[in-house]
Structure 1
Amino acid sequence: MHEKNKAEAEKLEKFVNEALAFNKKHNIFVRESIKEVYEKDVDDCLPVLQKINNSDKILDLGSGGGFPGIIIAILKPMCEIHLLEKSKKKCYFLNKTIDLLGLKNAKVLNTVISKNNSLGSYTLITARAFSSTTNILELTENNLYDGGKYVLLKGKKEKITEELVTIDTNKYKYEIIKLDNKKYERHLLEIRKSE
């Protein structure tokens, strides 16, 4: 797991407090306490960090309240990360948070993703509660560099297995990694294009 330094821990705390304050007025996610945000959101996103290289250019699909995008920007400052979000309200929050925390490596993209988009190419594409695996692959296959990977935060293994039935295993190789979460069944799904 990623060991946070003092500056990173302070930025995370500031981010969580900002998210809760903004949430009270604008309802961007369903959380009411700092403890709940750390348990259900921050801790849930930390395993993604183990799959990130410092040189990665990352696309976070459906960034919402900033999970995992803002967390990645805080804890992996050498990476470049684009946070894609269609909601103007959530984009306002994300931009405000990026400015507040001085995150020079993060940029918000206020758009809806389509199959033939012009977002550019990324070494890593991530998402949490965005869409089905098949849909993510279809929408972004042209955005993944050769040798790049998807790192998707998912729930129950049965649901993941159902989603994977439809992917082309000649085109993609995947690994389902069970996360150490005592309260919820969580998995990391890592997908790479076949060589």
Structure 2
Amino acid sequence: MISGEQDARAFVVARCTPEAVQRLDALAELLTHENARQNLIAKATEASLWTRHLADSAQLVDHVSRETSGPWLDLGSGAGFPGLVIAIMRPEWPVHLVESRKRRIEWLQTVSRELRLENCRVEGKRLELVGDFEASVISARAFAPMTRLLDLSARFSTSDTIWLLPKGRSAAQEVQTLPRRLRSMFHVEQSQIDPDAGIVVGRGKVELEQ
């Protein structure tokens, strides 16, 4: 379990290249500056940025093979977690960031441009308006309850899609709210950041009832 900012940074550094670390440092600086203008993250978490946001996002790559070719679909990217972090850590993967709020869209576009994230595409619209494509990975952090999330994103899934859904303390409870036919697809993994938090992990195509 990660303990403190130094530990969190070392955790992330071990999972990416020196170039990626430089970009993550730049992201942290840009985020701290922008957070004075708009509430991207809670002010109280600025002092634990590496733990609460960067390492919390970075831990998701442990659930995906390096051979995965993408694309990675991140729902409700907001301040860029986990989507921007994934795009920085894995520049060989196409990453689509879905965000509908105007100022957040502008923020994501600015960071993508300034950090030269050529693999990062900002989908500045509601998920319902994003065109269909097959996603290798679907992630979401505080996007919507599980049932609603799956209803909205099922069309992007295939039999090989990996679902990575940080759900905090409600992870196990949210899995239990799913219909039985979907519940067996998912399980909860312990977060490496917070002993009380869980990540809902799944694999496969979500088939919606007609």
Q: TM-score, normalised by structure 1?
A: 0.89
Corresponding residue to 2:147 among 131, 134, 137:
134
Ranges in structure 2 where 5+ consecutive residues have no aligned partner:
1-10
Amino acid at match of 2:42: V
Question: What CA distance in whole angstroms lies between the structure 1 residues aligned with 2:154 and 2:133?
Answer: 11
Alignment map for 1:46-57 (pairs within 5 Å): 46-53=58-65, 54-57=68-71
Alignment check: 8 A CA contact 2:167 2:198 kept: yes
Alignment map for 1:148-167 (pairs within 5 Å): 148-156=161-169, 159-167=170-178
Residue 180 of structure 1: how far off its partner (Å): 2.5
Q: Which residue of 2 aligns with 1:88?
A: 102
Residue 91 of structure 1: how far off its partner (Å): 0.7
Q: Which moved more, 1:133-142 or 1:185-194?
A: 185-194
Alignment check: 8 A CA contact 2:17 2:89 kept: no
Q: Which residue of 1 aligns with 2:7?
A: none
Give percent identity, aligned residues only: 22
Alignment map for 1:24-39 (pairs within 5 Å): 24-31=36-43, 35-39=47-51
Confirm or deny that 1:17 pairs with 2:19: no
Q: Which residue of 1 aligns with 2:136?
A: 123
Corresponding residue to 2:85 among 64, 68, 71:
71
Amino acid at match of 2:137: L
Alignment check: 8 A CA contact 2:53 2:81 kept: yes
RMSD across aligned C-alpha pairs, in angstroms? 2.1
Residue 117 of structure 1: how far off its partner (Å): 5.4
Alignment check: 8 A CA contact 1:20 1:32 kept: no
Corresponding residue to 2:193 among 181, 188, 194:
181
Corresponding residue to 2:201 among 178, 190, 194:
190
Amino acid at match of 1:74: I
Equivalenced residue count is 191
Residue 34 of structure 1: how far off its partner (Å): 5.2
SS of equivalent to 1:147: coil
Q: Which residue of 1 aligns with 2:57?
A: 45
Residue 132 of structure 1: how far off its partner (Å): 0.8
Question: What CA distance in whole angstroms lies between the structure 2 residues aligned with 1:97 and 1:181?
Answer: 25
Amino acid at match of 2:131: S
Amino acid at match of 1:124: V
SS of equivalent to 1:122: coil
Amino acid at match of 1:52: V
Residue 33 of structure 1: how far off its partner (Å): 6.7
Alignment check: 8 A CA contact 2:158 2:204 kept: no
Q: Which has the larger share of strand?
A: 1
The structure 1 segments of at least 4 consecutive aligned residues displaced by more than 6 Å after TM superposition are none
Alignment check: 8 A CA contact 2:164 2:199 kept: yes
Deviation track 1:98-134 (CA, whole Å, cap 9, x = no partner) reads 11111111000111123x8534221111011111111
